[in-house]
């Protein structure tokens, strides 16, 4: 295996982006940030890979125009996944592992505010027996949350503490869209919205784009910004069926975490769009109580679809670059109720 | 850099039809997957990861259908990726699957690509009007027809070249039991007599709209050696290139991205003269005229001369460079799977398993796919022998 | 001057998908049409509703289908204060995982109760069937508490239709708010004033019409505004003879790339005022604007292009634009 490091990251997150669903307007400055951070130019980048969704944009081939932001003449070696860009990062990491390329920029974007997000997400479900009922994404999380509450896997207080910590930490994150000093009591004082969930238990609908640079050893050291070296990179999927798995658990997270190796992790950025899901993830990853969770505020404070997973990796990398973490873990999720999960570990090196 | 050798050890595909009303989406995929697993002499237990490819989700009206399909594809508890690079996706998906093996990450990867076009209507899905823009778009044919006209003008090709391609591919399809179209009566004359749809493209010069799937099992050199597979299709090179849909002075007839991908591919596969060293080629030709256009783009002919190979019969099964032995996209077009079918046919040829459409002695073959506005290219070279 | 926001317009993505089912789902849907819920018995004996098409353990097709009851127990639930379009009820309701009698795993469906106080885990609920079953999951309109549910409608209504259900229609109707990019918005607003405004890329100096959020060669926004002529050259074209769903212009029509004088990229528009068979590459054409009172922020202000009568442009003058 080649040693590969994260050497650049830039993001934009907002409540509503007033621009085109291709998000080209966001990608242009994001790419410019990456070149400034690394001191590199387009010619230093061997491979490009993106993650986005046609259904979020409401049109086929929505990712095609995004290629304009690269400035892709002469042509580029490029690919796209219909997944969160965290999985685009995985494809790029694999490409570098083949030895054919040494560096890559990965990007993701999504303008969820263009549609009714929780309804659009119903289209991910079984198209024969589930989608025709249009169960929305918030409701599926609500079913999961109640199972855990009533089985004693977690309680309201624990969920409220997740929310309070996230919103408080997000006060220092310029890209968070729901933030402020908050206590668990403040959270519990909020009305229940989609019983058993309060609004703050659910990630806000968010728009955004982000991008990351990775490179193999030999190239990575020439980046100006610093390097967070990838030590484990794994992902797994479970059945989509809400009745086909224990919803209070996430076997795919556990498998990915075990394969990636979580020993010695001092910080974790977990992609939990609902407060109780963070509790599931912490348990499945076996994270000790002293592991710092989501210093960025996490997905509960901004969750731009198709880049929020990549953002967790980027936020963790920034903590490694700044010396706040020696060994960090980042996680991304996709599908209803934590169906598909990705775990990446990274470390600082002298 | 050490690079694990990878080979295709199993190929499976569905019987492609306008409407596969006998199966669900999962059932369609499993038909191809089960055949690929059987061909590779493996079971789901032997598979380390699954890579799914398909074109726009609007075709089936399911957002990221791989999530719902994961269990039926035996992917639960395993890694699963979903690739979408427009029409080239079947090719890109194969390449991503191959890279998982070449990187030394997995021993055996299952990859499957599909489209069940009968669930909706591709013309609709590709032509949803964009506000403020002139609604002159008319599906893929409407998009590509002007560029075909440009090719004809630039190359000064005779009018009937497209018809030669269409007649040849439809005749080849008669030898392929999986092909969607089995029109025994198609001749150059009948193609020229068919209705002009998107002038200069005639009805018989267009691809059908199909339901279908294609699957491959790709294994590492070590896994091949431990298996009973004696005739794998070794992967000699893979390339992908992209460029913008529209740009000032962009060459839409002979796109830069295709030329660059081909040049890199030939170099990677150690090929100095493609027309002499490649025994046969499966090229993504959804409209007949793209055969001569891509012959030039790929370097089988000089610019402006691709049609001469076609006209001389050199792209027929017994020609110098047989093209689209399976009948090609012109005879079966489950869009998301169409690229993988090209990659699969190239593999079958060098495995010696192409049945009636086998090119005698084929030992090195090209699989090619493109997508978007002739802007996304994916291609590979496979061989009977290990590379180098 | 205050910066105007981008232009927005509603975008509808609507299709009624036709889904074929295959044997397992066909039997499930056929059961629903008879007001009968069937589950699939897996290799380990577990009965699952709806039946998975493939056994999660063996991955073989699930063929052993068994009837289960249309009533059972709520295992988990969640409240929907603001239903979205297409859901079983358009007033607040609950989703629940309902373990039907005879099944080992729950079914996801709606429960109709007046408030979240009226539902709890362990509640016994019964299916409210549609009077006009179609062979779809929506044949169960929702579940309701068993103590208030009437049992009269639960008998199979349609003895006549014994043919298997082999497909469902699944409407997917989505509403989006489409926004143009800032650069495109300037272009469309220019059209409302009868002007065709391009922009020059600050790097390569090419004039893009419409202007772009990113020059596709250089990856930077186009900037310097350039008004281009409303006449130019047909570079290439096709004649659309094929009708299709959602088409806005009646065929046959000529869809052409028009390279406006002063622009470095052609754009697609309609050619009229000449027989389709007379349209040529290199033909000089001019915009025919709609009456001014019909103008909006759209390229449709230009009704079409028609020949100017000038001599055709020399092939070499537009060859690089093909």
Percent of chain B with pLDDT over 90: 93
Helix A137-151 vs helix A275-285: angle between axes, to the nearest 10 degrees? Answer: 60
The upper half-sphere exposure of residue A292, i.e. CA atoms within 13 Å in the direction of its Cβ, equals: 15
CB contact under 8 A, B67 and A67: no
pLDDT at C151: 57
On whether both A152 and A285 belong to a single domain, the answer is no
Query: If you average pLDDT over every residue of chain B, what do you get?
Result: 96
Those residues of chain C that have pLDDT short of 50 are 1-2, 152-154, 159
Q: Is the pLDDT of residue A53 over 60?
A: yes
Range 195-234 of A in CB contact (< 8 A) with B: 234
On whether both A258 and A148 belong to a single domain, the answer is no
Give the integer Cα–Cα distance in Å for B121 and C243. Answer: 13
Band (pLDDT 50/70/90 cuts) for residue B129 is confident
On whether both A316 and A338 belong to a single domain, the answer is yes
Give the integer Cα–Cα distance in Å for C13 and C172. Answer: 8
Band (pLDDT 50/70/90 cuts) for residue B2 is low
On whether both A211 and A63 belong to a single domain, the answer is yes
Q: Is the pLDDT of residue A237 over 50?
A: yes
On whether both A179 and A303 belong to a single domain, the answer is no
CB contact under 8 A, A71 and C217: yes
Q: Is the pLDDT of residue B162 over 60?
A: yes
On whether both A95 and A154 belong to a single domain, the answer is no
Residues of B in contact with C242 (CB under 8 A): 138-139, 141-142, 197-198
Query: A92, A94, A339: which to substitute to probe chain B, counting the most B Cβ within 10 Å?
Result: A94
Residues of B in contact with C207 (CB under 8 A): 248
On whether both A90 and A124 belong to a single domain, the answer is no
CB contact under 8 A, A235 and B79: yes
In SS3 terms, A14-55 reads as ECCCCCCCCCHHHHHHHHHHHHHHHCCCHHHCCEEEEECCHH
Q: Is the pLDDT of residue A210 over 60?
A: yes
pLDDT digits (tens, 9 = 90+) for B365-386: 999 999 999 999 999 999 999 9
Question: Smallest CA–CA separation between A56 and chain C, in Å?
Answer: 9
CB contact under 8 A, A20 and C6: yes
**ipTM exceeds 0.90:** yes
In SS3 terms, chain B reads as CCCCCEEEEEEEECCCECCCCCCCHHHHHHHHHHHHHHHHCCCHHHCCEEEEECCCHHHCCCCCCHHHHCCCCCCCCCCEEEECECECHHHHHHHHHHHHHHCCCCCEEEEEEEEEHHHCCHHHHHCCCCCCCCCCCCHHHHHHHHHHHHHHHHHCCCCCHHHHHHHHHHHHHCCCCCCCCCCCCCCHHHHHHCCEEEECEEHHHECCCCEEEEEEEEEEHHHHHHCCCCCCEEEEEEEEEECCCCCCCCCCCCCHHHHHHHHHHHHHCCCCCHHHHCCEEECCCCECCHHHHHHHHCCCCCCCCHHHHHHCCCCCCCCCCCECCCCCCCCCCCHHHHHHHHHHHHHHHHHCCCHHHCCCCCCEEEEEEEECCCCEEEEEEEECCCCC
For residue C76, the cross-strand partners are C97
Per-residue pLDDT, averaged over A212-226, amounts to 96
On whether both A127 and A248 belong to a single domain, the answer is no
pLDDT digits (tens, 9 = 90+) for A1-30: 999 999 999 999 999 999 999 999 999 999
pLDDT digits (tens, 9 = 90+) for B17-72: 999 999 999 999 999 999 999 999 999 999 999 999 999 999 999 999 999 999 99
Chain B contact for A91 (CB, 8 A cutoff): yes
Q: What is the CATH number of the domain that holds A305?
A: 3.40.47.10
Q: How many domains does chain A have?
A: 3
CB contact under 8 A, C216 and B22: no
Q: What is the pTM of this model?
A: 0.97
The upper half-sphere exposure of residue C89, i.e. CA atoms within 13 Å in the direction of its Cβ, equals: 19
Domain that holds residue A46: 4-116+205-222
Q: Under DSSP, is residue C15 helix (H, G, I), strand (E, B) or coil?
A: strand
For C123-173, the DSSP string reads: -EEEEEE-SS--SSGGGEEEEEETTT--SGGGS---SS--SPP-EEEEEEE
Query: B148, B211, B247, B256: which to substitute to probe chain C, counting the most C Cβ within 10 Å?
Result: B247
The two structure tokens encoding residue C126? 């019964």
Q: Is C276 exposed, middle or buried (0-12, 13-18, 19+ CB in 10 A)?
A: middle
On whether both A190 and A209 belong to a single domain, the answer is no
Helix B290-297 vs helix B139-155: angle between axes, to the nearest 10 degrees? Answer: 60
Helix or strand holding residue C253 (H, E): strand C253-260
Q: Please state whether beta strands A205-216 and A228-237 pair in parallel, antiparallel, or not at all (unpaired).
A: unpaired
Query: A3, A102, A127: which to substitute to probe chain B, counting the most B Cβ within 10 Å?
Result: A127
Chain A contact for B23 (CB, 8 A cutoff): no
Within 10 angstroms of residue A289's Cβ, the number of other Cβ atoms is 6
Question: Smallest CA–CA separation between B36 and chain A, in Å?
Answer: 22
pLDDT digits (tens, 9 = 90+) for B267-316: 999 999 999 999 999 999 999 999 999 999 999 999 999 999 999 999 99
Q: Which residue has the higher pLDDT, B136 or B169?
A: B169
Question: Smallest CA–CA separation between A102 and chain C, in Å?
Answer: 22
CB contact under 8 A, B136 and C270: yes
Per-residue pLDDT, averaged over A101-116, amounts to 97
Chain B contact for A126 (CB, 8 A cutoff): yes
On whether both A213 and A93 belong to a single domain, the answer is yes
Range 163-192 of B in CB contact (< 8 A) with A: none
On whether both A98 and A171 belong to a single domain, the answer is no
Question: From A119, which residue of chain B is nearest by alpha-carbon distance?
Answer: B63
**For chain B, which domains are there?**
6-121+209-226 (3.40.47.10)
Question: From C318, which residue of chain B is nearest by alpha-carbon distance?
Answer: B249
> What subunits make at least 3 CB pairs under 8 angstroms with B?
A, C
Give the integer Cα–Cα distance in Å for A259 and A248. Answer: 21
pLDDT at C1: 39
pLDDT at B316: 98
On whether both A172 and A197 belong to a single domain, the answer is yes
């Amino acid at each position: 295996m080649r040693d590969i490091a994260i050497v650049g990251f830039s993001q934009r997150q907002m409540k509503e982006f007033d621009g085109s669903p291709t998000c080209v307007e966001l990608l242009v400055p994001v790419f410019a940030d990456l070149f400034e951070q690394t001191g590199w130019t387009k010619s230093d980048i061997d491979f490009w890979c993106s993650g986005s969704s046609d259904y979020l944009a409401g049109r086929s081939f929505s990712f095609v125009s995004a290629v304009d932001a690269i400035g892709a003449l002469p042509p580029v070696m490029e690919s796209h996944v219909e997944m969160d860009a965290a999985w685009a990062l995985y494809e790029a990491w694999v490409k570098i592992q083949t030895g054919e390329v040494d560096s890559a920029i990965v990007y993701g974007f999504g303008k969820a505010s263009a549609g009714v997000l929780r309804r659009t997400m119903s289209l991910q479900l079984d198209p024969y027996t589930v989608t025709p009922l249009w169960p929305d994404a918030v409701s599926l999380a609500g079913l999961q949350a109640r199972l855990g509450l009533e089985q004693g896997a977690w309680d309201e207080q624990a969920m409220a503490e997740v929310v309070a910590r996230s919103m408080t930490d997000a006060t220092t994150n310029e890209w968070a869209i729901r933030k402020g000093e908050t206590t668990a009591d403040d959270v519990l004082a909020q009305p229940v919205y989609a019983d058993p969930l309060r609004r703050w238990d659910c990630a806000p609908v968010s728009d955004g784009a982000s991008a990351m640079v990775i490179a193999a050893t030999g190239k990575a050291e020439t980046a100006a910004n610093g390097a967070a070296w990838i030590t484990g990179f794994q992902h797994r999927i479970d059945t989509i069926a809400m009745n086909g798995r224990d919803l209070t658990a996430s076997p795919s997270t556990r498998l990915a975490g075990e394969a990636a190796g979580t020993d010695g992790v001092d910080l974790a950025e977990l992609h939990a769009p609902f407060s109780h899901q963070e509790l599931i993830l912490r348990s499945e990853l076996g994270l000790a109580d002293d592991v710092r969770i989501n210093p960025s505020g996490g997905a509960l404070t901004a969750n731009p679809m198709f880049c929020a997973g990549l953002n967790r990796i980027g936020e963790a990398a920034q903590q490694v670059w700044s010396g706040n973490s020696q060994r960090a873990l980042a996680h991304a999720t996709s599908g209803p109720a934590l169906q598909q999960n990705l775990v990446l570990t990274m470390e600082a090196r002298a | 850099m050490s690079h694990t050798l990878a080979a295709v050890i199993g190929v499976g595909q569905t019987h492609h039809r306008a409407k596969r009303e006998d199966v669900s989406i999962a059932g369609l995929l499993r038909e191809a997957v089960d055949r690929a697993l059987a061909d590779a002499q493996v079971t789901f237990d032997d598979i380390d990861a699954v890579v799914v490819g398909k074109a726009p989700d609007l075709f089936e009206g399911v957002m990221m259908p791989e999530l719902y399909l994961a269990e039926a594809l035996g992917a639960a508890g395993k890694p699963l990726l979903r690739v979408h690079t427009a029409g080239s996706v079947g090719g890109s998906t194969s390449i991503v699957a191959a890279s998982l093996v070449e990187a030394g990450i997995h021993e055996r990867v299952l990859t499957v690509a599909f489209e069940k076009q009968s669930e909706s209507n591709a013309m609709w899905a590709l032509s949803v009007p964009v506000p403020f823009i002139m609604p002159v778009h008319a599906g893929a044919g409407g998009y590509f027809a002007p560029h075909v006209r440009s090719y004809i003008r630039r190359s000064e090709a005779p009018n009937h070249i497209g018809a030669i391609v269409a007649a040849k591919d439809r005749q080849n399809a008669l030898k392929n039991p999986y092909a969607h179209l089995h029109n025994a009566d198609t001749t150059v004359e009948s193609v020229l007599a068919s209705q002009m749809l998107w002038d200069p493209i005639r009805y018989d010069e267009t691809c059908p709209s199909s339901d279908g799937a294609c699957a491959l099992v790709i294994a590492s050199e070590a896994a091949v050696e431990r298996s009973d597979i004696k005739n794998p299709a070794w992967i000699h090179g893979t390339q992908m290139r992209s460029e913008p849909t529209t740009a000032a002075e962009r060459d839409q007839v002979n796109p830069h991205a295709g030329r660059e991908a081909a040049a890199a591919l030939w170099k990677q596969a150690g090929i100095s003269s493609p027309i002499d060293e490649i025994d046969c080629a499966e090229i993504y030709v959804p409209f007949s005229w793209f055969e001569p256009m891509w012959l030039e783009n790929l370097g089988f002919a000089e610019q402006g001369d691709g049609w001469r190979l076609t006209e001389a019969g050199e792209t027929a099964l017994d020609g110098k460079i047989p093209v689209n032995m399976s009948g090609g996209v012109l005879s079966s077009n489950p869009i998301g799977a169409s690229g993988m079918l090209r990659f699969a046919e190239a593999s079958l040829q060098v495995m010696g398993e192409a049945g009636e459409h086998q090119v005698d002695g084929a030992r090195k073959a090209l699989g090619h796919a493109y997508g978007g506005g002739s802007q996304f290219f994916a291609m590979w070279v496979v061989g009977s022998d290990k590379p180098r | 001057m205050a910066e105007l926001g981008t232009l927005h317009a509603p975008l509808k993505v609507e299709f009624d998908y036709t889904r074929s089912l295959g044997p397992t789902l066909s039997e499930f849907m056929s059961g629903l049409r008879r007001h009968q819920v069937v589950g699939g018995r897996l290799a380990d004996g577990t009965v699952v509703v709806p039946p998975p098409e493939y056994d999660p353990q063996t991955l073989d097709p699930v063929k052993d289908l068994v009837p289960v009851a249309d009533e059972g127990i709520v295992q988990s639930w969640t409240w929907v204060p603001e239903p979205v379009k297409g859901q079983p009820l358009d007033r607040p309701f609950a989703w629940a995982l309902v373990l039907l009698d005879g099944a080992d795993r729950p079914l996801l469906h709606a429960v109709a109760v007046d408030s979240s106080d009226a539902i709890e885990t362990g509640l016994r609920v019964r299916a409210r069937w549609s009077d006009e079953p179609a062979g779809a999951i929506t044949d169960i309109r929702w579940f309701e508490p068993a103590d208030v549910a009437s049992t009269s409608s639960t008998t199979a209504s349609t003895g006549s239709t014994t043919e298997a259900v082999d497909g469902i229609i699944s409407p997917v109707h989505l509403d989006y708010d489409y926004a143009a990019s800032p650069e495109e918005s300037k272009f469309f607003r220019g059209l409302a004033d009868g002007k065709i405004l391009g922009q020059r890329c600050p790097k390569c100096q090419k004039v893009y019409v419409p202007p772009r959020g990113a020059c596709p060669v250089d990856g930077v926004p186009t900037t310097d505004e350039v008004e281009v002529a409303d006449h130019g050259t047909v570079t290439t074209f096709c004649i659309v003879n094929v009708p299709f769903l959602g088409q806005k212009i009646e065929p046959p029509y000529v869809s052409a790339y028009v390279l406006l004088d002063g622009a470095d990229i052609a754009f697609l528009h309609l050619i009229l005022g000449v027989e389709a068979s007379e349209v040529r590459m290199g033909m000089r054409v001019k915009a025919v604007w709609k009456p001014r009172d019909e103008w909006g922020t759209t390229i449709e202000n230009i009704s079409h292009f028609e020949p100017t009568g000038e001599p055709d442009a020399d092939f070499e003058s537009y060859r690089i634009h093909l």
